[in-house]
Every structure is written in structure tokens, then in C-alpha cells.
Amino acid sequence: MSSDLKIVTEMTKKWSIGPIYDTNWCDMPAEIKLECIGKMALNERLLLRCTAKAERSLVDSQKIKFNKGLIRKSCGDLVFLLSRDDKYTFAKRSKGINEAFELIKYIGKIGVFENLEISFGYLFTDTKKLITDLGLFTVKNIELTYCNIDNMIDVLRKVKNDVESIKMGGDTMTAEKLAEILEISHVQNVPYWHILNYEQTDCLYKVAQMWIDRNSKIGSTFQASVYQLGSFEKFSRHFNDRDRLVSMNEKRVRIRTNKPDHHILLERGFEEDGEIHLYGQYFRLMVISAELKESEYNDNCKEWIYKINPEIYKEYDSASPYSYDEYYEGFGWGSFVY
């Protein structure tokens, strides 16, 4: 027994055991620090990166996932509200434009967003700084509301290509600005996007034509609320002149694409009593399978209209199953958002 103990003792002397670190942060190797940084909330990371250049480099090399993010104008400043896995929160009000720009740049650099809403208002007018300084945002679902249209386009150009939905609304959009948006690659490929309050009549046929030219995938969806009469008629006339019309009635137009197994369906939203909405017309455009039968159409336009404008049912239908505040309740900050 004593001989066995002696053998084990001799063996342990030869084992390579790493050094034991004290509790001081500076004594830890970089790989351990990175593990720690990965578990830190954003405010902790911001404090750490102020301590030394080496720490700043480590902090900036680590991405951080947010399930929700909101950057919104409030009383002349920008308010940043971020939620991480519903466990960590970050809330900050910028002290000026320069600080706001720096924080936007940093959040865009290290953030990986499930949902991100940006509402600059008309605070930013010099978009050159925004274009130059911003990196590429990594975001799955982005919403741009109450922004200068040029700011919206600038931000869209700074979004990585794997975005899954784009929502836009607030500023007046001209045909020229729509043309700029349609040239952005991830807008051309995004599965879902919408424009709220478009004041022209050309967006429907222009989006459909872009899908035809790009051979867009089945399931691609575009929605718009339009305040000019004639969008539906302009769409049907545009494609009827090109011999693409498959079917048409007062609610829907169906056209052919260049691919025999792909069609495009335009739907117009109606009130439950069969009337067109008084406060704007709502349209949904989809790439569908050519095999889809008319009997398989979904007549519940309320469901998809809510997605583009939740407030339309908040005022007239208090019993609506949809909650306009559902998105913001997830932050837990209540009215501070506004």
C-alpha cells in the first residue's frame, strides 16, 4: 500500500498543472477574460472597455445578442433601450448628437439583434456622418419609423443581407426614393417588408416588376398603405398591357412571372362590411405558387392589415385580440419608451 502511494506521489510531481490565478482581473489570461465578457451585460462591457486599451480591444471583439432594441428620439435626445434574453436590460439617454452617434456606431458593431426599431424623428439632417460612421447592423427584423427618408435609406444600406423583415413608415416617400430602396440587395431578397403611408400609386407594380426581374422566391411579401386612389388599377393596367394578367376582380389581381411555377398575387384590404378602409387603402403583394387555387385564398385581411398598422384596430375594435403595446411590454420600461 505504501509503495502504491509513493508511485502516485511521484506521478503527480510530473503532471503539468497550470498556474493558479489570483482574483485580480489583470492576472487572468485573455481567453478567460473573453469568457467573462461574453456573460456581461452591455453596461458592464462599456465600463470595462474604459479601463485600458487592451480591455477595450477584448470587449469590442465580442458580439452581444439582443432580442429587442429601440433607438428613439425623446425630447431632443436619443433614448437607447435594449433587452438581452429578457434577463439583462440597458437604458441610456444620449447627452448630445456626438454621444448618440458614438453609441449607435458601437451598438451596431457589437450587437446581434432579433428585433431592432429605429425612430430618429427629424433629429438627424446631416446623413453624410451617418453613412460614413456606421458599420453594418446584424439584425433579423428591422423597423424604421418617423425618420427622415434619407436616414431610412442610409440605415437600410448598413444592414447585413440576412435580414428577414423590413418595416418602414413615417416620412413621405417619393417615387425617386422608392427607386433607391429597390436597388438595395437585401430589400430585393427580404422575405417580408412594408411601407406605411406611401403617397404615390406606383409602389405595387414597381415591387412586382422587381420581383419578376429578380426571380424572387415563393413567399416573398410586400405590404403598403397608400393614400392615393388608383394603385390597384395602375397595377392591373401595367401588367395587363404586358399580357401577364391571369385573373382579376375587385379584391385581387393575379399575374404571371417569368417562371411558369411562380405567380404574383395582389390583394386589396376591405373592411368587414366589404367597404374599402376610409383612412387609406391597404395592399398585400405576394409571390405564390402557380398551383395555388382561388379557393385557397385567405379572406381574413384584418390579420395582415394589423401587421402593417396595429392602430387601425385599436381605435375601432376594443375587443381586438391583437395588442398594440405587446412589443413594448417586453422591455418592462413602460411609458419611459416615449
Q: Regarding beta strands 192-198 and 221-226, do their DSSP bridges make them parallel or antiparallel, or are they unpaired?
A: parallel
pLDDT at residue 264 in the model: 98
Contact assessment for residue 71 and residue 80, using Cβ atoms and an 8 Å cutoff: yes
What's the rounded Cα separation, in Å, for the pair 24 and 255? 68
- The pairing of strands 68-74 and 111-119 is parallel
Residue written as cell 427618408?
A: 149
When pLDDT is averaged across residues 60-78 and rounded to a whole number, the result is 86
pLDDT band at residue 325, thresholds of 50, 70 and 90?
very low
Pairing verdict, β 138-145 and 165-169: parallel
Q: How far is it, in rounded angstroms, from Cα 108 to Cα 134?
A: 7
Q: Which three cell numbers stand for residue 259?
A: 417562371
CB neighbours of 165 closer than 8 A, spacing ≥ 6?
140, 141, 142, 190, 191, 192, 193
Residue range 23-49, pLDDT digits in tens:
678 878 888 888 888 888 888 888 888
Least confident span in 139-148, 283-292, 301-310, 326-335: 326-335
Tell me, what DSSP letter sits at residue 275? P
Instruction: Indicate whether 252 pLDDT > 90.
Output: yes
Lowest-pLDDT choice from 39-48, 252-261, 264-273, 312-321: 312-321
* Stretch (H or E) spanning 105: helix 97-110
Overall size of the chain counted in residues: 338
Rounded (5°) CA angle 226-228-234: 90
Buried b (16+ CB within 10 A) or exposed e, 232-260: bebbbebbeeeebbeebeeebbbbbbeee
Identify the sign of the CA torsion 163, 213, 231, 253. Answer: negative
Question: Is residue 123 pLDDT above 80, yes or no?
Answer: no
Task: List strand residue ranges (DSSP E) for 127-218, in order.
Answer: 138-145, 165-169, 192-198
- Domains of the chain with CATH codes: 21-62 (no CATH), 63-167 (no CATH), 191-331 (3.30.310)
210: confidence class by pLDDT, cuts 50, 70, 90: very high
Take residue 160 and report the three cell numbers written for it.
Answer: 447585413
Q: Can you state the angle between helices 203-214 and 231-240, rounded to 10 degrees?
A: 40
What is the residue whose three cell numbers read 431578397? 189
Per-residue pLDDT for 222 more than 90? yes
Cell of 68: 429587442
Tell me the mean pLDDT in the region 135-139.
Answer: 85
d(C-alpha 79, C-alpha 133), whole Å: 19
Residue 122 in 3-state DSSP? coil
Does 322 have pLDDT greater than 80? no
Q: Looking at the predicted structure, is the pLDDT value of residue 7 above 60?
A: no
